[in-house]
Amino acid sequence: MTDKEQVSELIAAKRDMAEKLAMDIWNFAELSYNEERSAREIIGILKAEGFEVEEGIADIPTAFLAKAVIGSGKPVIGFLAEYDALDGLSQQAGMTEKCPVDGMKNGHGCGHNLLGAGTVLSAIAAKEYLEKNGKNGTVALFGCPAEEGAGSKQFIARAGWFDDVDFFYTWHPHNLNTVSGIGNVAIMGANFHFYGTASHAGSAPELGRSALDAVELMNVGCNYLREHTIDQARIHYAYSDAGGTAPNVVPDHATIKYEVRAPKVSQMQELFARVVNVAKGAAMMTDTKMEYEVTMAFSDYVANKTLAPVMDKALAEYGAPEWSEADCDTALRFLRTYPKTALKGIKDEMRSLFPDDDPDELLARPLHAGVIPYDPRETRYSSGSTDVGDAGYGAPTVTVYIATAILGNAGHSWQNTAFSASGIGMKGMLRAAEVMTLASVRTAEMPELIARAKKEVLDKNGGKYVCPLPDYTKPPINTY
């Protein structure tokens, strides 16, 4: 049997386990840092498959490392599992209209139930492949909570848990099949606390120093700052404490949360420093005091150019998931749930991605049936962020995207929650596991390629991984 045939056989043998796990995690629908049942079930499966598990790594109760050492234990093949849900995206499985589950607020609107189960399946298959073929290696699966929150991979990396990993392969549910060269931007978030002096706003306003005024002026300053940033930068904010609800009291406290994004960590850190200066200026103007605390930060992610072709070749050999007529009919019903404006945007996206195809014909069967090849010349960044970037600053890392939803599908939507519990989603998950497993066992046989991939990482990070978080920032368990 070829390596591909062996991998397919191994994946097929564990299909029922993976699909059950994906549905269990979908039903648990646990939010960031609270994925207790999801982590417990994954850990139980991995222990039963012969993995040794260290729980609660990096001071995160729902993070873990599951490891299986075969032969010499080298190289160390890393997998990254996620399993957190999103607030407010409850949706009944199989329903092609918005229909939340009674008594449930949360939903897997980003498909992390599929991501987690598919990665577990891949890690088990890679272990069995190495054992059956007398190969050497360590399969290391990291349970990584809270990707939708303040993240965990940067905390895990900072604590040194990634130091021995030779490379990471992971995946994410998508509406396309590709190893993308498009990057994800870096992000940093902080709470800015302002402290003033309370006073009667009517009889003694001159004695008051408004913390809320300071927050308002910070927003004004950041609005002007936006004109003087690079195009790819983003500055977001949200009030977390407006200082009270009584208009006749000068607020003596107020807190606002800011997040900044930029393509590179260095650009993100420079922009964040400018936002801090705006906050300092707002405090000076209002005669208040300001303190801030960084709560989260992710490094930028770009696929390792040395290893991406290995994953790309595995994807090309497997191709897209094999969609049935029933799958396409289901996809069409979901497509019709989008408003006309969204459908126009989807058609525009199809024209951009597939210039040689008629968008109407593509959307008549709205599931991606092909593969978009990896382009090493790609330099663009999407405006989204992921803590996978911090794995990539420590070891060679590649993400493969597999279609689990319709073309043009919007992530973080009720439709996406439904797809995450559908036959379409399950087919995508199984294909992702096949691609990751095949790429991982092939890469394990190429020590010189791994060495070049590691050099690429060192050139990128300046010689070692540096966490973008300040040392004082701890995992914000139950506080983010």
Q: DSSP letter string over 375-427?
A: -TT---EES---THHHHHTTS-EEEEEEE-S-TTPPSSSHHHHHHTTSHHHHH
What does each C-alpha distance from 92 to 84, 99, 413 come to in angstroms?
Answer: 18, 6, 13
- Report the C-alpha gap between 42 and 44 in whole angstroms: 5
What is the pTM for the complete model shown? 0.95
Query: Which residue, 115, 95, 103, is CA-closest to 26?
Result: 115
End-to-end, the C-alpha distance of the chain in Å comes to: 50
- Report the C-alpha gap between 53 and 66 in whole angstroms: 4
Q: Would you give per-residue pLDDT tens digits along the chain (480 residues)?
A: 999 999 999 999 999 999 999 999 999 999 999 999 999 999 999 999 999 999 999 999 999 999 999 999 999 999 999 999 999 999 999 889 999 999 999 999 999 999 999 999 999 999 999 999 999 999 999 999 999 999 999 999 999 999 999 999 999 999 999 999 999 999 999 999 999 999 999 999 999 999 999 999 999 999 999 999 999 999 999 999 999 999 999 999 999 999 999 999 999 999 999 999 999 999 999 999 999 999 999 999 999 999 999 999 999 999 999 999 999 999 999 999 999 999 999 999 999 999 999 999 999 999 999 999 999 999 999 989 999 999 999 999 999 999 999 999 989 999 999 999 999 999 999 999 999 999 999 999 999 999 999 999 999 999 999 999 999 999 999 876
User: Three-class SS of residue 346?
Assistant: helix
DSSP structure class, residue 341 = H
Cα Rg of the chain (Å, integer): 24
186-298 and 3-184+300-461 share a CATH fold: no
For residues 282 and 214, the answer to whether their CB atoms sit within 8 Å is: yes
Both tokens assigned to 118: 């598919």
- Report the C-alpha gap between 62 and 39 in whole angstroms: 6
Query: What does 94-136 look like in DSSP terms, one character per residue?
Result: T-SS--PPTT---B-TT-HHHHHHHHHHHHHHHHHHHHHTT--
For residues 22 and 426, the answer to whether their CB atoms sit within 8 Å is: yes
The domain spans of the chain are 3-184+300-461, 186-298
Q: CATH class for domain 186-298?
A: alpha beta
- Report the C-alpha gap between 92 and 415 in whole angstroms: 10
pLDDT for the residue 479: 79
DSSP structure class, residue 22 = H
Residue 106 burial (CB count, 10 A)? 19
Query: What does 420-468 look like in DSSP terms, one character per residue?
Result: TTSHHHHHHHHHHHHHHHHHHHHHTT-HHHHHHHHHHHHHHHTTS---S
pLDDT for the residue 478: 83
Cα 233 to chain centroid, rounded: 19
Query: Which residue, 461, 393, 426, is CA-closest to 168?
Result: 393
Which uninterrupted H or E stretch holds 215?
helix 211-225
DSSP structure class, residue 87 = T
For residues 221 and 278, the answer to whether their CB atoms sit within 8 Å is: yes
- Report the C-alpha gap between 143 and 155 in whole angstroms: 12
For residues 150 and 465, the answer to whether their CB atoms sit within 8 Å is: no
Number of helices (H), then strands (E), belonging to the chain: the values are 15, 12
CATH 3.40.50.2300 fits 3-184+300-461, yes or no: no
pLDDT for the residue 235: 98
Strand 253-262 and strand 186-195: pairing? antiparallel
* Main-chain phi, psi angles of 396, to 5 degrees: -55, 130
The one-letter amino acid code at 30 reads: E
Apex 460 CA angle, 456 and 462, nearest 5: 115
